[in-house]
Structure 1
Amino acid sequence: MTATAHESTAHEAIVRPVDWRAPISFIVFALVGFFAFGLNGPSTDVVFSWASKGTPSLLSDITVNARTLGFVIGSLMLVITALTLWLALTRRKISAWIVVGFALLFLVGLLGWVGAGGRVPIVYLLTGAIAFSVPVVLGALAGAMGERAGVTNIAIEGQLLMGAFTAAFVGTITGNLIIAMFAGMISGSLIGALLAVFSVKYHVDQIIVGVVVNVLVAGITSFVHSSMMTRDEQAYNYPGTLPAIRIPLLSEIPVIGPVLFNQRITTYLMFALVIFVTVLLYKTRTGLRLRAVGEHPLAADTVGINVNRTRFWVVTLSGLIAGLGGVALSIGSVGGFIREMSAGQGYIALACVILGRWNPLAATAAAFLFGFSKQFGVWAAQAGAAIPTDFINMIPYIVTLIAVGGFVGRSIAPAAINKPYVKS
């Protein structure tokens, strides 16, 4: 028997095990959709409204019976579930489009169920989702850059928090929000540099350093907040918020216009940075070098790339992006600094990096999922949904856990991540 025949026989003998993660998740959500939204759903009408508050829309509202909508959507979800079961049993890949389509169906059914007897404000939900997504998207971009270079950036939480604190403090002192925005970005970069010094230069475990940095930043900002900001908010914690910039003509497009083209500068910068980081990583020589450092640092060193210098500057400069995420939290949203206002969003950003498999565009999509789930929680509470308030507050984190555990599972990270490089 030839070597080729031996290889063929060996490949036939190796049977890939059935991956049940996605099918099981599909079954659970399909049953919830069919029985909760359909058979046992409210029989009142629900109105899907396309108009933003105080602004008429060219699109007419859609009125449907909530139970009928739930039954149709639940039936479609069961059909898709059967398809995923067949794909899993035949050991075929479940397309991402199937997952997206299934998720959209479940979302429509959920909106109809919660909004039964009232209206579902589509523009309000999408606008709020983008606003909540900005810090997470920017944190995810910083995490994707750092981890592509081989450095686990656990300190995103600290970078967001320091950016938010610095922007609010400097904005109040100077009265200039643009200066405050740059100050917040620089402070995030300094936290990135601190992480890089210990993890890259001194080879301290990256995860331990990141956690310590987060605790340090939380302590510093809490101390200053309690000792200065809360005692005299007018002098130290009253910066105001960045104004919304309405883009002429584009902002008049139905639905898309008010959602995308009537935003603050932090949101516009977020969209620009998503494109910039994607192009940088996959379409430039610099990005190729950066990814080589994270995948095979010895080979990168062999061709003349300074591995540790590259890692240091990538982590430091990515801190600028995370710092901008902190700016979006304070002067880009609340108009001041609140103690520990990052509230774990840096860790959610890391989860989005994993969910997006270290791809900036996919990580951004995962961050939007988090933002929408958070905005949904706000709307559900306002709509008087029969869901406990504590559970509503848990929705964004539950969605993230389900997405990572139920649909992604084990992901393959860059090969040299969290591995110090010592030049021989």
Structure 2
Amino acid sequence: MSQATNAPQMSLPNEPTVATIKTKMKLRDPITTSVLALLTGLLALRAEGVSRLAFEGATSWFNIPDLVLNARLTVIVCFLINLAAAAYSWKQAAARKPQLKGSLFVVGVLFVLAFLVWTVAGKPDARMPIVSLLVGALTLSIPLIYGSLSGVVCERTGVINIAIEGQLLFGAFLGAVVASLTNNAYVGLLGAALGGALVGVLLALFTVKLRTDHIIVGVVLNMLVLGLTSFMYSTVLKSSPTLNQVVSLPKLRIPFLADIPFLGPLFFNQSILVYLMYVAVIGLQWALFHTKWGLRTRACGEHPKAADTVGIKVNRMRWTNVIAASALAGLGGAFFTLGASLAFSKNMSSGNGFIALAAMIIGRWNPKGAVAAALLFGFATNLGSVMQAVGSPLPAEYMLMLPYVVTVLAVAGFVGAVRAPAAEGKAYPE
């Protein structure tokens, strides 16, 4: 009887064993926390005097007095906490252990707090308006959230949506025109959604039907919408002011909820565009991961051949999802005219579509992640304006650059390991 089965297993001299194999050290969190801790420490060196944080408008039930803080002491406390978090993060990374959940968020919040305290430190007449800072951040993030959600739906179904910029711009244009013709902002919202959907029809036609390169089509559509709206503005809207009136969406204050301190004015004293945004975010997060539609959408973006095998019409799914998602981006474009109480002007979207695309990537093609990234961009943009108003020693232009700097970093892939849907940008035969 053969003894081969009882023979000892031989291994090559240089072959690694299970005990010697180590996972790769993940450096993103340790480096990020260390950089934020270092920046907080630099702020501590420059902070002097006292800082005043104002809470006007937080609630109508009672008045909240200004919070007066010792600037240097406050920033030093933030620095020490961030330093301890950075040390712990390096320890976890060296031991190849998972990072503490939420630690990066806490470090970021403490850095922002230190920065706000430093901005108004030593200025008796300067007050940091916390409520208006947060409300403005949410307001400026509206088009980014709608645009990033549009990108999530499109790319989850396999179509790269570079045309978010064009969808926002055409939504702003058509929303303003329809609202002016009907003198009704709510009808203008329908026009904005239609404008985005029309761009989505062209996107689906060239990517799904004609199988053209998705990146090229998106860029061309952005240029097409920019040229078309600029031409219409110069030749039609300027000569017919009645087609480009200021028609704004009124704020709909929800009783009782609008008076909840801080949360009320931030979330429950907004226009219908913001309330629709809440529904879109929550509904899409649930639908994408807990419904048959969501499963089919993700299947079309990950493995369309398998989806086709079980009877899913891949290209039909892509058509409907792209058009619906583009209408969503069109609603985001309504912010620039109906939401901001402005008449239409050339290139109103001002690159917000590309920032929305970056928010989608940072959010890892997940609605809630995309929303968080969009809120970060909105906060950074509004912070630049607030800094200018309170007389910050740092030029406001630097802070206004932040969303675009983060966009470049996101597109370049410096946001950690992210993986797009496997079939993204790949045509599927009829």
Give the TM bin, normalised by the shorter chain: over 0.9
User: Structure 2 vs 1, CA of residues 351 and 11 (structure 1 numbering), >3 Å: closer, same or farther?
Assistant: farther
In structure 2, C-alpha distance between the alignment counterparts of 1:278 and 1:392, rounded to whole Å: 31
Q: 2:207 touches 2:427 (CA, 8 Å); kept in 1?
A: yes
Spell out, residue by residue over 1:169-225, the C-alpha distance to the aligned partner (whole angstroms, 9 max, x if none).
Answer: 121122111111101101101111110111011110111111110010000011111
Q: 1:107 aligns with which of 112, 119, 128?
A: 112
Match of 1:377 in 2: 384
Which of 74, 82, 85 does residue 77 from structure 1 map onto? 82
Contact 1:22–1:407 (CA<8 Å) still a contact in 2?
A: no
Please say which of residues 80-89 and 17-26 is displaced more in the overlay: 17-26
Pairwise mapping of residues 287-302 of structure 1 onto structure 2 (< 5 A)? 287-302=294-309
User: Does residue 271 of the first structure (1) align with residue 281 of the second (2)?
Assistant: no
Counterpart-to-counterpart distance in 2, 1:405 and 1:222? 31
Q: Could you tell me how far apart the structure 2 residues matched to 1:180 and 1:15 are?
A: 59
Distance in 1 separating the partners of 2:57 and 2:356: 29
- The answer to whether the 8 A contact 1:329-1:341 is kept is yes
Q: In the alignment, is residue 391 of structure 1 matched against residue 394 of structure 2? A: no
**Native 8 Å contact 2:362 2:410 kept in 1:** yes
Q: 1:39 aligns with which of 42, 45, 49?
A: 45
Give the stretch that moved more between structures: 138-147 or 79-88. Answer: 79-88
Q: Larger radius of gyration, structure 1 or 2? A: 2
* Identity of matched residues, %: 41
- What does residue range 194-233 of structure 1 map to in structure 2 within 5 Å? 194-232=202-240
CA distance in 1, matches of 2:88, 2:145: 32
Report what 2:196 is aligned to: 188
Residue equivalent to 1:50: 55
| Contact 1:143–1:153 under 8 Å retained in 2 | yes
Whether 1:259 and 2:266 are equivalent positions in the alignment is yes
- Alignment equivalent of 2:167, drawn from 151, 155, 159: 159
The runs of 4+ residues in structure 1 deviating greater than 6 Å are: 403-407
How far apart in 2 are the matches of 1:263 and 1:420? 41
The separation in 2 between residues aligned to 1:377 and 1:54, in whole angstroms, is 25
Question: Distance in 2 between the 1:57 and 1:28 partners?
Answer: 40
In structure 2, the partner of 1:172 is 180
**2:421 alignment counterpart:** 414
Q: State TM-score, norm by structure 1.
A: 0.93
SS in 1 for 2:53: strand
Contact persistence 2:244–2:344 (CA under 8 A):
yes
Taking a change above 3 Å as real, the CA distance of residues 339 and 378 of structure 1, as seen in their structure-2 partners, is: same
Structure 1 distance, partners of 2:156, 2:103, is 28
- Whether 1:247 aligns to 2:217 is no
Offset, 1:340: 0.7
2:137 corresponding residue in structure 1 = 129
**Change in 2 beyond 3 A, CA 1:146/1:331:** same
Partner of 2:374: 367
DSSP-derived class of the 2:246 partner: coil
Q: Is residue 239–residue 336 contact of structure 1 (8 Å, CA) maintained in 2? A: yes
d(CA) in 1 for partners of 2:306, 2:280 = 29
Q: Secondary structure at the match of 2:270?
A: strand
- Structure 1: gaps (5+ residues): none
The corresponding residue for 1:280 is 287
Q: C-alpha separation between the residues in 2 aligned to 1:316 and 1:13?
A: 52
Q: Is the Cα contact below 8 Å between 1:134 and 1:267 reproduced in 2?
A: yes
15, 18, 29: which one aligns with 2:22: 15
Structure 2: runs of 5+ lacking an equivalent: 1-7
Structure 1 CA distance for aligned equivalents of residues 377 and 132 of structure 2:
16
CA distance in 1, matches of 2:292, 2:116: 45
CA distance in 2, matches of 1:73, 1:311: 48
Which has more helix, going by share of residues?
1
- 1:46 alignment partner, SS class: strand
Q: Distance in 2 between matches of 1:387 and 1:191?
A: 40
Give the letter aligned to residue 368 of structure 1.
Answer: L
Aligned length: 416
Distance 1:105 1:389, change over 3 A: closer
What SS does the corresponding residue of 1:408 show, helix, strand or coil?
coil
Partner amino acid, structure 1, of 2:149: L
For residue 158 of structure 2, give the secondary structure of its aligned residue in structure 1.
Answer: coil
Task: Give me the CA root mean square deviation.
Answer: 2.1
Task: Tell me how far apart the structure 2 counterparts of residues 365 and 67 of structure 1 sit (CA, whole Å).
Answer: 30
Q: 2:103 maps to what in 1?
A: 98
Per the normalisation by structure 2, the TM-score is 0.92
SS of aligned partner of 1:367? helix
Letter in 2 for 1:244: K
Deviation at 1:402, TM superposition (A): 5.6
User: CA 1:356–1:96 in structure 2 vs 1: closer, same or farther (change >3 Å)?
Assistant: farther
